[in-house]
Amino acid sequence: MELALLTPLAIPVVLALLSLTIDSAPLRRYSPMASSAAVLVSGLLLISAVLQRGGATSISDLLRSDALSSYMLAVVGAVGLVSTWGGLSSVAASRERTAGSYGALLSLFLAAMSLAVLADSIGLMWAAIEATTIATAFLVGHHRSRRSLEAAWKYVILGSVGVAIALLGIVLIYAASIGTDTPTLSWLVLSQGRLGLDPTLVTAGGALAVLGFATKSGLAPMHSWLPDAHSQAPAPVSGLMSGVLLSVALYAILRIQTITNAVIGPDFLRVMLSIGGLLSLLVAASLLIRQRDYKRMLAYSSIEHMGLMAIGVAIGPAALPAVLLYILAHGLIKATLFVISGRILAVEGTAVIADVKHLLARRPGVAVPWLIAMSALIGFPPFSIFFAEVGIITAGWSVGMGGVVGVALLLLLVIFAALTRLTVSMTMGSPPESEPFTIDRQSHGPRLPIILALATTATMAFIAEPVGSLLVQATAVLGGTN
């Protein structure tokens, strides 16, 4: 299994180098998809090993695969595959002079996220998340327009501030370990609570690290980079950033929370994450009501979902299986929606909601999957987002956080109404008889990744084995029992 730990790091890097050095259109077109497939296969192999043998696989003190990291690696690969495979039409339309760097940066982006979830050292995890900032900054500015370059610079500045704050927090956690017999950055050692870490340093370090990673995960009030970056990046990049990069940053918060809980208990970060989650829901609700751009609509929806996930993390072990299910369901659906939004933008020529009308009548090939995916995103059953949200809300009531989840539920209702109104305005109705039109039934891109993503999110909440067992084991890792 050690090979499966190295594969999701090595193969994307090799493919990135080949994309830069070999002038081959098929290689540059398909290398991000191959990188995603390699990450997904590695994640599934590691999950199989965890379920069959239990325990963890590690290389030195740097890389470690347990139930949680294996699951997150599979999420990175699955969302990456939907984004890169479904976005092949966007790759074909990309500029010839930047095609090699585009494919290489996507592969490096996948490698950096894989390293972040496989790192046992929280210092290495931080470095990997910083590497995602570098790779995605160039991808956000890929179109070289004024707005895309402005979004890229905004992302670099705010993202760098966030990871700098997180670095300071990690340094303080390491400083707390220096006073013990085992100075270390190993998450496994730090999370056991046996070192006698200085509670003051851990409190300060944990707060700063969570605040920094919250910036990368798009939580309010550190969210302002997200709508610009996600709306200006190419569709596959937006799918990856919204679908999995935000979740990788939330994964880092989960790892830091486990360390602080072992030393100072859960109350401190519970308050911090609850405030951030509710503020994120409030920001999303207030801005979605008057949203005019459908890519920005999806970006603000990401702030909403990350806010509810943060509340789930604050609730603790009772909600963590639902949070982990939420991560995969949201990732697949959001990648699907950004891919489809790229196709709508290509055929309609605008991202303005008011200028996109009667899609279901005029372009059913893109309107039907858009409607299904939006239904999943809004939270209709049988899609897994519905069950994840219900799981978080019921867990909150069960642990005495009824006030927090009650306010969250009210904000979710506002967001539900806003997203429904915007989706209906884009898709329903028929053009006037005075405006003749031709029905376009083409999907304008590969159908299979969209079908697989929607089918997965519609069924996985009903699969007790192995999905349920894996989520329970991943939750146990965060409880320090595995």
**pLDDT tens string for the chain (482 positions)?**
788 899 999 999 999 999 999 888 888 889 999 999 999 999 999 999 998 887 778 887 789 999 999 999 999 999 999 999 998 865 444 444 356 788 999 999 999 999 999 999 999 999 999 999 999 999 998 878 888 889 899 999 998 999 999 999 999 999 999 888 888 999 999 988 778 889 999 999 999 999 999 999 999 988 889 999 998 999 999 999 999 999 999 999 999 999 999 999 999 999 999 999 999 999 999 999 989 999 999 999 999 999 999 999 999 999 999 999 999 999 999 999 999 999 999 999 999 999 999 999 999 999 999 999 999 999 999 999 999 999 999 999 999 999 999 999 999 999 999 999 999 999 998 887 767 778 888 888 999 999 999 999 999 988 878 888 999 999 999 874 43
Q: Which two tokens stand for residue 279?
A: 């503020």
Same domain, 270 and 245: no
Q: Which residues contact 132 (CB under 8 A, 6 or more apart)?
A: 109, 112, 113, 116, 216, 245, 248
User: What is the C-alpha to C-alpha distance for residues 293 and 336, in angstroms, rounded to an integer?
Assistant: 17
The domain of 38 spans 1-118
Same domain, 329 and 455: yes
Domain boundary among 79, 100, 118: 118
Same domain, 310 and 398: yes
Q: Which two tokens stand for residue 278?
A: 């509710």
Residue 99: per-residue pLDDT:
63
- Does a structural domain hold residue 193? yes
C-alpha closest to that of 388 among 335, 340, 333, 466: 333
Residue 278: per-residue pLDDT:
97
Same domain, 335 and 384: yes
- Does a structural domain hold residue 224? yes
Q: Is 164 left (phi over 0), alpha (psi -120 to 50) or beta?
A: alpha
Number of domains in the chain: 3
Residue 465: per-residue pLDDT:
80
Same domain, 279 and 180: no
User: Which residue is it, tokens 């500015």?
Assistant: 141
Same domain, 433 and 318: yes
Looking at residue 357, the DSSP 8-state letter turns out to be -
Same domain, 322 and 302: yes
- Does a structural domain hold residue 126? no
Same domain, 271 and 251: no
Same domain, 105 and 162: no
Phi, psi dihedral angles at 64 (to 5 degrees): -150, 135
Burial class (CB in 10 A: 0-12, 13-18, 19+), 103: buried
Q: Are 235 and 339 in contact (CB under 8 A)?
A: yes
Domain boundary among 118, 136, 167: 118
C-alpha closest to that of 302 among 275, 341, 274, 333: 333
Same domain, 319 and 341: yes
Q: Which two tokens stand for residue 169?
A: 């927090």
Residues in the chain: 482
Same domain, 229 and 172: yes
- Does a structural domain hold residue 225? yes
Q: How many CA atoms lie within 13 A of 356 on its CB side?
A: 27
Same domain, 359 and 425: yes
C-alpha closest to that of 136 among 212, 233, 220: 233
Question: Is the backbone peptide bond immediately before 236 cis, with ω within 30 degrees of 0?
Answer: no
